[in-house]
Chain A
Amino acid sequence: MDKAAHTMPPTRRIMVAIDASPLSLAAATAAAAVARRLGSVLEGLFVEDINLARLTDHPEVTVVSILHARHHPEYHYVIGQALRLQQTAARRAFEAITPLCPLPGGFHVRRGRVAVEMLAAANECDLFVIGWHGDEATPRDAAFGTIARALIETCRRPVLVARQTVEDSTRIAVLRDDAAAQPLAGVLAGEEGDLDRLSHPTEAAPDHLLVVSRSVAVDLQGAPCSLLVAPPA
Chain B
Amino acid sequence: MTSHPPIPDPLDPLPAAALYKRCDPASLPFATTAELTPLDQPLGQDRAVAAVRFAIGIRSAGFNLFALGPEGTGKISLIRGFLERAAATQPGPDDWVYVQNFSESHRPRALRLPPGRAPELKKDMERLVEDLRLAIPAAFEGEEYRTHRQVLDEQFKEHHETAFRDIQERASKHGIAVLRTPVGLALAPMKDGEVLSPDEFKQLPEDHQIRLKSDMEGLQQELETRLAELPLWTRQQRDKIRELDRETTQAAVAHSLEEARKAWDDVPAVLDYLEMVRADVIDTLAEFIDRDSDGSEEKSGHSLRRASSEASGFRRYRVNVLVSNNGGTGAPVVYEDHPTQPNLVGRTEHLAHLGALITDFNLIKPGALHKANGGYLVLEARKVLLNPYAWEDLKRSLRAREVRIESPGQSVGLFPTMTLEPEPIPLDIKVVLIGDPMLYYMLADEDPDFGELFKVAADFDYRMDRSAEHELGLARLIAGLTTQEKLRALDAAAVARLIEHASRLAEDGEKLSTHMASLADLVRESDYWAGQEPAPLTNAAHVQRAIDEHTYRHDRVRDHVLEEIIRGTVLIDTEGEAIGQVNGLVVMELGRFTFGRPSRITCRAHFGRGDLVDIEREVQLGGPIHSKGVMILASFLSARFAQDQPLSLAANLVFEQSYGEVEGDSASSAELYCLLSSLAEAPIRQDYAVTGSVNQYGQVQAIGGVNEKIEGFFDVCRARGLTGQQGVLIPASNVMHLMLRHDVVAACEAGLFAVHAVENVDEGIKLLTGVPAGEIEDDTGDYPPGSINRRVAARLAQFTRRSRQLSQETTGLIGRTGRDR
Contact = CB atoms under 8 A, between A and B. Distances in A.
A222 B292 CA distance: 12
A69 B230 contact: yes
A109 interface: no
A86 interface: yes
Nearest to B184: A65
Contacts of A64: 184-187, 220, 223-224, 227
B211 to A, nearest CB: 12
B216 A218 contact: no
Nearest to B220: A62
B179 interface: yes
Interface string A24-67: 00000000000000000000000000111011011111111111
Contacts of B298: 140, 222
B184 A61 contact: no
Interface string A93-132: 0000000000000000000010000000000000000000
Contacts of B301: 221-222
Interface stretch (A76-84, A147-155, A163-171, A200-208): A76-84
A140 B198 CA distance: 38
A69 B181 contact: no
B290 to A, nearest CB: 10
B299 A140 contact: yes
B185 A51 contact: no
A72 B224 CA distance: 11
Nearest to B193: A113
A142 B150 CA distance: 13
Contacts of B195: 50-51, 54-55, 58
Contact of A62 (B183, B187, B198, B227): B187
A149 B814 CA distance: 142
Given A60-B188, A64-B187, A52 B179 contact: yes
Contact of A61 (B182, B187, B228): B187
Contacts of B220: 62, 64, 71
B596 to A, nearest CB: 94
Interface string B198-230: 100100000001001100110010011101101
Contacts of B212: 60
Nearest to B186: A63
Identify the interface centre among B181, B196, B225, B301: most chain A CB within 10 Å of its CB: B181
Interface in B160-199: 177, 179, 181-190, 193-198
A83 B212 CA distance: 26
Given A55-B188, A66-B230, A222-B300, A50 B194 contact: yes
A60 B201 contact: yes
Contacts of A61: 186-188
Contacts of A79: 181-183, 186
A139 B193 CA distance: 27
B299 A65 contact: no
Contact of B188 (A54, A71, A83, A86): A54
Interface in B204-261: 209, 212-213, 216-217, 220, 223-225, 227-228, 230
Contacts of B183: 63, 65, 72, 75-76, 78-79, 82
Contact of A55 (B186, B223, B230): B186
B215 to A, nearest CB: 11
Interface in A138-190: 140, 142
A86 B195 CA distance: 20
Contacts of A51: 177, 179, 188, 190, 194-195
Nearest to A66: B184
A66 B216 CA distance: 17
A79 B193 CA distance: 19
Identify the interface centre among A52, A62, A71: most chain B CB within 10 Å of its CB: A62
Contacts of B182: 78-79, 82-83, 86
B224 A70 contact: yes
A217 interface: yes
A221 B300 CA distance: 8
Contacts of A83: 182
A71 B224 contact: yes
Contacts of B185: 63-64, 66
Contacts, number: 105
Given A51-B188, A82-B183, A60 B216 contact: yes
A58 B188 CA distance: 9
Contacts of A55: 179, 181, 186, 188, 195
Nearest to B198: A58
Nearest to B188: A61
Nearest to A86: B182
A155 to B, nearest CB: 20
A56 to B, nearest CB: 10
B735 to A, nearest CB: 104
Nearest to A140: B299
Contacts of A78: 182-183
A217 B184 CA distance: 29
Nearest to B176: A62
Contacts of A62: 186-188, 216-217, 220
A67 B189 CA distance: 23
A188 B179 CA distance: 36
Contacts of B181: 52, 55, 63, 76, 79, 82
Contacts of A221: 301
Contacts of A70: 224
Nearest to B228: A69
Nearest to B213: A60
A201 B136 CA distance: 34
Interface in B676-699: none
A54 B196 contact: yes
Contacts of A50: 194-195
Identify the interface centre among A51, A59, A113, A218: most chain B CB within 10 Å of its CB: A51
Given A52-B181, A64-B184, A140 B300 contact: yes
A65 B224 CA distance: 8
Contacts of B186: 52, 55, 61-64, 76, 79
Nearest to B181: A79
A79 to B, nearest CB: 5
Nearest to B294: A139
Contacts of B213: 60
Given A51-B179, A54-B196, A58-B198, A66 B188 contact: no
A168 B190 CA distance: 47
A50 B61 CA distance: 90
A50 B186 CA distance: 14
A61 B185 CA distance: 10
A48 to B, nearest CB: 13
B198 A63 contact: no
Nearest to B292: A140
B627 to A, nearest CB: 96
A78 B186 CA distance: 12
A37 B193 CA distance: 40
Contacts of B230: 66, 69
A217 B301 CA distance: 11
A61 B186 CA distance: 7
A66 B300 contact: no
A87 to B, nearest CB: 12
Interface string A198-226: 00000000000000000001100110000
A99 to B, nearest CB: 27
Given A63-B184, A79-B182, 18 more contacts: A50-B194, A50-B195, A54-B195, A55-B181, A58-B198, A58-B201, A60-B213, A62-B187, A63-B181, A63-B187, A66-B185, A69-B225, A75-B183, A79-B183, A86-B182, A113-B193, A113-B194, A221-B301
25 contacts: A51-B177, A51-B188, A51-B194, A52-B181, A52-B186, A54-B188, A54-B197, A55-B179, A60-B189, A62-B186, A63-B181, A63-B184, A64-B185, A64-B224, A66-B184, A66-B185, A66-B230, A71-B220, A76-B181, A76-B186, A79-B183, A113-B193, A217-B300, A222-B298, A222-B300
10 tightest CB-CB pairs across the interface, nearest first? A69-B227, A82-B182, A69-B228, A222-B300, A54-B195, A65-B184, A51-B195, A62-B187, A61-B188, A63-B186
